[in-house]
Amino acid sequence: EVPKQLFGAARKCEEGGSLTIIATCLVDTGSRADQMIFEEFKGTGNMELILDRSISEKRIFPAINLAASGTRKENLLMTDREFKTVTALRRRLLSVPPHAQIEQLLAACQRFENNDLMVGGAS
């Protein structure tokens, strides 16, 4: 309940507004308090970027867990064609371990000059 009140605070401002919060939360520490804080805020944001220790231990950066990361309503941020292509790419990446997912994405980024070409070339 507290996160929703905090995130709703911007709407109570005169003339509305928006509230942008960038936060980090360390999990899997063994601390019940850390886990409780994480569970309270999990799912309240518009986007979650999950960093993966097992990927960073392989010295692969950015150590992003692509399967666990994402944006809510990402279909509103892309054309239908882009969304279908990105969805297909995500599904393909899910069949490989997290470290291989980011390695494949990084390799694709190097093969294409920009995102438009990568999305167009992947369809």
Three-class secondary structure of residue 47 per DSSP: strand
Which pLDDT score, from 0 to 100, does residue 110 have? 93
Where are the domains positioned within the chain? Answer: 1-45, 48-123
Tell me how far CA of residue 57 lies from CA of 34, 51, 60, in angstroms. Answer: 22, 11, 7
Query: Which residues are CB-neighbours of 120 under 8 A, at least 6 positions away?
Result: 85
Three-class secondary structure of residue 101 per DSSP: helix
Residue 122 clears pLDDT 60, i.e. is over it: no
CA 68, CA 118: separation in Å to the nearest integer?
Answer: 22
HSE, CB side, 13 Å, CA atoms: give it for residue 109: 7
Over residues 58-107, the pLDDT tens digits come to 999 999 999 888 888 889 988 898 899 889 888 988 889 999 999 999 99
The residue assigned the tokens 């231990």 is: 57
The answer to whether the predicted template modeling score (pTM) of the entire model surpasses 0.85 is no
DSSP character string of 7-25: HGGGGGSTT----------
CB 85 within 8 A of CB 122: yes
Residue 109 clears pLDDT 80, i.e. is over it: yes
Q: Return the closest-CA partner of residue 77 out of 102, 105, 46.
A: 46
